[in-house]
Structure 1
């Protein structure tokens, strides 16, 4: 199983008094958005690779020079 990684923000919470940076507490940083987008795209690529690998091999095999039938590609002999 894959372990989930969580980032904990350091600093003052929203309810604390004093000077606080409005950009860090109100909106996610560019790094967080990039990290989320990268994780999302890698998950989608993993799923596409998982379900697309065997059909890709079958398509490549069907387009080879001695054109085999589908049954010849799927049998182990």
Structure 2
């Protein structure tokens, strides 16, 4: 599985992200998203998991938890 890892978008998503992440299977956002629209744009492009960061408001926190613990191809992942 190919993962596109991103963080600290702070409400701005550079359009180049879609070129860089063209070949990935999933996108992981590691916090400080900024706005729900970032989550929506990434999620419309590729399956997206993430966590909220200290700058994120309740709208982002409703969609992403503080911690994500899951397994990916036999590897335990903890994103916080």
| TM-score (ref. length: structure 1) | 0.21
More strand by share: 2
More helix by share: 1
Larger Rg computed on CA atoms: 1
Higher relative contact order (Cα pairs below 8 Å, separated by 6+ residues):
2
| TM-score (ref. length: structure 2) | 0.21
